[in-house]
Amino acid sequence: MSATQPAIGSQLADQLDRLQAGSRTAAADIFSLALEPLIAFVLSRNRAVQREDARDIAVDAIMALISEPSAVDPTKGSAWSYLCMVAGRDATDQVRTRARQKRLLEKAGMDVELWSGCANNVERMEVEADARKVLELYGDQLVTNESERRLLTLMLLGERETADYATA
């Protein structure tokens, strides 16, 4: 605990008392007193959190204190320890959430890649089915021998390899 934290703790306790007594300026005083030290606390405890996110986390913790000052039980801890607990928990949650989102996005990327390959296979299967249907309906009228039937099948399937045509 640094030398400034006990001072912040006692000043916060005074401001919290003022807030609970109905002071109109106590909330603003709590913000001006606690915001920067709480941002510094979040950044020192969790290096994966960016400064902008640490600021949001600190503001949320201060808002929780201001909106529910009775959440601080002076027999269990100070307003400063309450702010640190809330901000630390939120920072940890944010890091876990971002890691989970990153894993899900990576997995989704693999799934999209996999399904995009399957989509091509489905399209090819549809073309093959169409080619078979054309041969069933009109094959006898279009070809005169088995060699022509194989060539027509290759064309309908969109075959591009000349070697396949040569062996047909």
- Name which residue leads in pLDDT, 158 or 34: 34
Q: DSSP secondary-structure letter at 68? A: -
Whether this prediction's pTM lies above 0.85 is answered by no
pLDDT of residue 161: 82
CA distances from 164 to 123, 124, 156, 159 (A): 21, 17, 13, 8
User: What pLDDT score does 52 carry?
Assistant: 96
Position 35 pLDDT exceeds 90: yes
Res 1: pLDDT: 45
**Residue whose structure tokens are 């901000």:** 87
Residue ranges of the alpha helices (H) in the chain?
4-20, 26-45, 51-67, 79-142, 146-156, 162-167
3-state secondary structure of 159: coil
Q: Please state, for a pLDDT cut of 70, what percent of the chain lies above it.
A: 86
Q: What is the per-residue pLDDT for 111?
A: 63
Phi-psi map region of 97: left, alpha, beta (phi>0 left; psi -120 to 50 alpha) = alpha
pLDDT at 45 over 90: yes
Amino acid at 98: R
Report the chain's mean pLDDT, rounded to a whole number. Answer: 84
Count of CB atoms situated within 10 Å of the CB of 110: 10
Q: What is the pLDDT of residue 3?
A: 46
pLDDT at 135: 73
pLDDT in tens, 81-121: 999 999 999 999 999 998 888 887 777 766 666 655 555 56
Q: What is the pLDDT of residue 130?
A: 75
What pLDDT sits at residue 105? 73
| Model confidence at 28: pLDDT above 50 | yes
Higher pLDDT, 131 or 51: 51
Q: With pLDDT > 90 as the criterion, what percentage of the chain qualifies?
A: 48
CA gap 120, 117 in Å, rounded: 5
d(CA 116, CA 103): 20
* Nearest alpha-carbon partner for 38 in 84, 72, 5, 95: 84
- Going 51 to 52 to 54 to 59, the CA torsion angle's sign is positive
